Each structure stands twice: as C-alpha cells, then as structure tokens.
C-alpha cells in the first residue's frame, strides 16, 4: 500500500478549515430512526403542489432511451424561452444545476486571492460557503429588524470587494427590499461591484413595491439576478436554476460555467413550466391559506413568528429548536431548525397543504405543553 497522501500539504488551508455541510438523510432512513410512519416535509421550502401539470407530463413521458443521450450543453431552448419571456438576448441567460451552481459560477468569475464578498449573517448560507471554501473572505453584515442592512453593507465595501449578495425576499426571514430601496442601493454602489439579487422566491411575492430585478438590468449593468425552478415551479428534485445579467457580464461568467451540468428532463420540464400562471395562482392560494391558518394557531399557542414573503415562516420557540425538531419528527413532521442560520430557538416552516399544517400545529401543541 502506498503511503497516505499528505493532505495537510495538498489541501489549501481554507479548504481544510471549512466544515462540510452534511445534508439530511433520506426520508425512509429518518422515518426508521424516529419511528414514524409518514413524514410531512416542511423543511426545504418545496412546493407541496409539485410541478405544474405540463412539467409533470414531461417527466412522466420522458423516454428512458433518451437517458443515454447528452442534454443540450447550455440549455439552448430554455435560454431562448426565458429570454423571450423577459425581453432579453438568450446569451444574457445562464442555466445551472440549481441556483447553487450559478452562485459558484459568479464567485469564480469575479473573485481572486484577497478579494471579498458581502452578504448578511442570517441568510441563505451558500454565498458564504462558496466564498469561504474558495479562499475568499465572506463579510457577513448582521440583519437589521430581520432584513438586509443596506447602509452597513455599503460601509463594509473596500477596494477588494467584488460581489454583494442580496437575498430578496430573504430566506429565512421573508423580509424584502422595495424597488425604491434596491435602486438606491444600486445607485450608491455605482457599478463598482457586482450586485447579485437572489430572487429564488420572487414568484411568491404579491406586494406591489417588490422589485422585478430583471427589469432593472438595462439601468444597472452590474446587476445579476438569480431565479430558480426549485421553489414555485416544484422542480427541486431535478436541480435547475438560472441567472440573468448584462450581456458582457454574463459572457464573462460563462467562462467559469460547467456545461452539460443540467440534465435533459430538468430542461424540458422547466421549459414546460414557464408561464403557467394557474399553477402560480394555485400555489399562492395555498400559501395564503396556510399562512393565515398558522398565524391564527401560533397566536393561540402564544408562539411569536416572523412572517414575511415566500412560502415559509419562522417561529420562535420557548425551547431548543433541535429538541423541538426531534420531538416533531417522532410525530412525522419535519421542520428546519434555525440554529445553523444563527437564529437559535427558531424554526422555519414551509407552508404546505392544510393536512400538513394541521399536523404541525397538533405536534407543536403537544411539545410546548
């Protein structure tokens, strides 16, 4: 046997220091461990209605022999369809294996040794993770009143800042910047850095002052907008998301893009899902109804909550969130604990169908007694 590789010498220090994220075990394993017969998944902000019917049809009819054929390497048809919908050039769109992959593309494109990115401390963690395990500093600005703090983010910019990430609406707090606030922020950045606005939950927001980042691209060429098919369009299992931006900016990002990373069924299902307004309306109805129910029931249980935009809310518990997780798991309800988001004793709940919401409330009633 050859000697073990000298990992301390081979692996950069910033990788050795980084702790790998361990995803949840598959549902059957968790059900076995916690002894429950079924699980309501309220932990990943998935759409309980599933994909739109046309996308379901694509998945259902996908011919198995096509699995042997490479998909379009750059999601050709999907990019054209998205460009048509948003009034863009197809090369302004880059499709990735979920929004996580396009985050990696952007950081790889703009950051070099010594550079930094700026985002919030309590937001979607992948911006911070990718920067950190790539050897770049992630400057984390504390949330203010559960929202991104624009002034403090601007104050943290220096000559080595390359990207500012804004999650709008924010996961997990549901807070959002209005169009006026986003414009003011972009004006003050003045095009010197790339501003990424992650709109993973944009399709859930019905507030009139919520900005459509894609419409702002013409005025702000340093703006890059992320969207995903994982949330509203219910295609999380197929892993597909995209970014749009100024043509020159996207042409640069394309250089770090791994082609062929998005599979064929994902591309075709996404293509079929676009523009299904009925699916969006049905999902919004479900979320509205679920939120109203939860707000009422949580108030009855005297549990404070943070309810903003998106298909999720955060609940403050009078106990350790991870103990609550374990107790709820034994009753077949899976939630997301928030200690890892730096919100200890909070949990995030995905708004789903009423049966799941009722099971959650029943479970919570038992564990806080």
Of 55 and 298, CB closest to another protein: 298
Least separation in angstroms between residue 366's CB and another protein is 13
User: Residues 300-339: x/- map of binding to another protein (CB under 8 A)?
Assistant: ------------------xxx-xx-xxx-xx------x-x
**Min CB(117)–another protein separation in Å:** 16
Instruction: Find, among 81, 39, 21, the residue nearest to 271 by Cα.
Output: 81
Q: DSSP 3-state assignment of 278?
A: helix
Query: How does DSSP classify residue 336?
Result: E
Shortest distance (Å) from residue 204 CB to another protein: 25
The piece of 17-25, 222-230, 271-279, 291-299 that touches another protein (CB under 8 A) is: 17-25
C-beta of 205 vs 334, nearer to another protein: 334
Binding mask 349-368 for another protein (x = CB under 8 A): --------------------
Segment contacting another protein by CB under 8 A, of 120-128, 238-246, 251-259, 298-306: 120-128
Phi/psi at 271 (5° precision) = -60, -40
Q: Is 193 in the site for another protein (CB under 8 A)?
A: no
Binding of residue 37 to another protein (CB under 8 A): no
33 binds another protein (CB under 8 A): yes
Q: Which stretch binds another protein (CB under 8 A): 21-29, 96-104, 229-237, 271-279?
A: 21-29
Are the C-beta atoms of residues 55 and 233 closer than 8 Å to each other? yes
DSSP category for residue 236: G
> Does residue 7 bind another protein (CB under 8 A)?
no
Residue 25 binding another protein, by CB under 8 A: yes
Decide if residue 30 touches another protein (CB under 8 A): yes
Catalogue the E-assigned strands of the chain. 40-42, 93-96, 116-120, 137-141, 161-167, 194-198, 223-228, 241-245, 305-306, 312-316, 333-337, 346-350
**Closest distance between another protein and the C-beta of residue 345, in Å?**
6
33 vs 281, which CB is nearer to another protein?
A: 33
Cα separation, 105 vs 139, whole angstroms: 19
Site for another protein contains 100 (CB under 8 A): no
Give the distance from CA 104 to its chain's centroid.
13
Q: Residue 125, interface with another protein (CB under 8 A)?
A: yes
Tokens 């100024």 — which residue? 246
DSSP string, 177-206: --HHHHHHHHHHHTTSSEEEEE-TTGGG--
Q: Look at strands 223-228 and 194-198 and give their pairing.
A: parallel
Residue 198 in contact with residue 124, Cβ under 8 Å? yes
Give the interface segment with another protein, choosing from 28-36, 57-65, 95-103, 303-311 (CB under 8 A).
28-36
Q: Residue 345 and residue 336: Cα distance in Å, rounded?
A: 11
- DSSP 3-state assignment of 147? strand
The contact set with another protein (CB under 8 A) reads 1, 19-20, 22, 24-25, 29-30, 33-34, 121, 125, 128, 318-320, 322-323, 325-327, 329-330, 337, 339-342, 344-345
């Amino acid at each position: 046997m050859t000697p073990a590789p000298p990992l301390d010498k081979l692996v950069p220090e910033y990788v050795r220091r980084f702790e790998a994220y361990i995803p949840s075990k598959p549902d059957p394993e968790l059900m076995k461990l916690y002894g429950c017969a079924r699980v309501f998944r309220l932990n990943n902000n998935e759409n309980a209605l599933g994909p739109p019917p046309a996308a379901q049809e694509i998945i259902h009819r996908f011919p198995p022999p096509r699995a042997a054929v490479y998909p379009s390497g750059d999601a050709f048809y999907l990019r054209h369809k998205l460009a048509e919908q948003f009034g863009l050039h197809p090369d302004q769109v880059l499709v990735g294996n979920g929004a996580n992959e396009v985050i990696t593309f952007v950081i790889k494109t703009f950051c070099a040794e010594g550079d930094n990115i700026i985002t919030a401390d309590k937001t979607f963690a992948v911006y911070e993770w990718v920067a950190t395990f790539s050897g770049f500093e992630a400057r984390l600005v504390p949330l203010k009143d559960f929202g991104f703090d624009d002034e403090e983010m601007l104050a943290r910019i220096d000559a080595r800042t390359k990207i500012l990430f804004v999650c709008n609406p924010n996961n997990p707090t549901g807070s959002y910047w209005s169009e006026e606030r986003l414009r003011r922020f972009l004006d003050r950045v003045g095009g010197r850095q790339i501003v990424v606005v992650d709109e993973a939950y944009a399709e859930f927001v019905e507030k009139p002052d919520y900005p459509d980042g894609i419409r702002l691209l013409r005025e702000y060429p340093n703006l890059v907008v992320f969207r995903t098919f994982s949330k509203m369009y219910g295609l999380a299992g197929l892993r597909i998301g995209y970014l749009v931006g100024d043509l020159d900016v996207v042409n640069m990002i394309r250089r770090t893009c791994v082609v062929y990373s998005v599979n064929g069924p994902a591309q075709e299902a996404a293509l079929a899902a676009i523009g299904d307004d009925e699916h969006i309306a049905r999902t919004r109805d479900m979320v509205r109804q679920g939120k109203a129910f939860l707000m009422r029931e949580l108030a009855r249980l005297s549990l404070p909550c943070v309810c903003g935009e998106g298909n999720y809310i955060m609940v403050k518990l009078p106990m350790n969130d991870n103990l609550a997780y374990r107790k709820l798991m034994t009753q077949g309800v899976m939630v997301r604990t928030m200690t890892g988001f730096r919100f200890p004793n909070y949990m995030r709940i995905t708004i789903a169908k009423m049966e799941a919401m009722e099971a959650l409330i029943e479970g919570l009633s038992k564990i806080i007694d």
